[in-house]
Amino acid sequence: MDEEVHRSPAAEISVTSNGDLEESHEDVFRDPSYGDLNLSESHISSGNFASMTEGIIESGPYKVSASQPTSPMAPVAPSSAVASRLARPISDSQTEIQKGTMQGQPHSGPVVLADDLKNPAVEKLELMRKWSINTYKCTRQILSEKLGRGSRTVDLELEGQIEVLRDNKRKYEHVVKLTQTLANQLTQMMQIQRQLGDAFADLGLKSPELHEEFGYNADTQKLLSKNGETLLGAINFFIASVNTLVDKTIEDTMINIKQYEMARVEFDAYRTDLEELNLGPRDATTLPKIEHSQQQFQIHREKYEKMRNDVSIKLKFLEENKVKVLHNQLILFHNAIAAYYAGNQQQLDQTLKQFHIKLKMPGGDTPSWLEEH
């Protein structure tokens, strides 16, 4: 056969089973005498690759299919680089192709989000995680204190002041409740006195022989009803002032006290957590936990001390304001009650003027017809 006769050594390339070239054929591509390879006439003969451990590339005339259009092709100059590339393992060629593809594409890495571009859902999850940990620690601390197993931080002086304030608050609320009951009963008594005065006046007109007697009683009941309105104004002013003291001033301080107590529980919870970690072993795993626990303990310690100072200042100002308010209100209540039951209408009116109390006229809260329309 002509193809076998004209086969050149450069056309045979022995490849081992692992894809490496034999050393005997590497010198062929280094020899310049084989530089005139006619690559346009080369083709690859395929066989049973399952039974072959070496592949042979044969050269021969290139046959063009009749279904494809033929075009004149310029002869390709032989090149040792092409031959060496053919002789390389398939894995090396794929590596070069992948490198070229990666160089042609822009480098892409992990996308790092800035602080201001973080997902709100991630931030909410992080806040929920911190809240859950803090709630768990505080709940465990409260249960430990109630069961007598945990220790708590106590400021004896401040705790005593807080307990006195709570007791006073309960007593002030009881005084307001009783005073409100007195005002309601006084209102009912005024209505009865007014009705009784009208009845005496009517009987005086119908009984000429008892006209003066009925007239005296009618005037007395009407005077008592009028003085009752003045006393009721003083009592309502007293109730409003004490209610403001209890429901606003003292309640505002109680809110600060609740925040202080919560800060105390958090401080004790993280203090207990740090103490438990310090009692355990110190290794590469526990040291970061101890450091983090120390930081959290310091943060809650500063928060606790700040809240304690705020509550102390609040209690001091509250005591001064409470003494000032109650001093005036107690004088008002005493003078109004004494003047009413003494029948001293002038003294009762003077008491209202002293504390700048204006009585509400009956029907004064109802808007007029012009204001409604």
Residue 234 confidence (pLDDT):
93
How far is residue 286's CA from residue 278's CA, in Å, rounded to a whole number?
9
More confident: 182 or 7: 182
- pLDDT tens readout for residues 129-161: 888 888 888 888 888 888 888 788 888 999 999
> Closest Cα partner for 312 from 211, 107, 161?
161
What's residue 129's pLDDT? 86
* Gap between the Cα atoms of 114 and 124, Å rounded: 17
Structure confidence by residue, pLDDT tens digits, 181-226: 999 999 999 999 999 999 999 998 888 888 889 999 999 899 889 8
What is the DSSP code string of 97-164? HHHHHHHHSPP--PPPPPGGG--HHHHHHHHHHHHHHHHHHHHHHHHHHHTT-S-----HHHHHHHHH
Higher pLDDT pick, 40 / 184: 184
pLDDT at 88 over 60: no
Between the CA of residue 297 and those of 32, 84, 159, 283, 306, what are the distances in Å? 81, 70, 22, 20, 14
Q: Is the confidence at residue 11, as pLDDT, over 80?
A: no
Q: What is the mean pLDDT of the chain?
A: 74
- Residue with more model confidence, 332 or 48: 332
- Tens-place pLDDT, residues 348-366: 888 888 887 877 655 444 5
Mean pLDDT, rounded, for 335-352: 88
Q: How many CB atoms lie within 10 A of CB 314?
A: 19
Asked whether residue 60 carries a pLDDT value surpassing 90, the answer given is: no
- Domains delineated in the chain: 176-359 (1.20.1270.60)
Q: Rounded to an integer, what distance in angstroms lies between the CA atom of residue 139 and that of residue 142?
A: 5
What are the tokens at 96?
Answer: 């070069």
Higher pLDDT, 38 or 304: 304
Q: What does the pLDDT average to over 121-135?
A: 86
- pLDDT tens-digit series, residues 228-279: 999 999 999 999 999 999 999 999 999 999 999 999 999 988 888 888 888 8
At residue 102, the pLDDT reads: 45
Structure tokens at 367: 């808007």
Q: Find where tokens 């109004």 sit.
A: 336
List Cα–Cα distances, 1 to 5, 7, 11, 196, in angstroms: 6, 10, 16, 150
- Residue 362 in contact with residue 233, Cβ under 8 Å? no
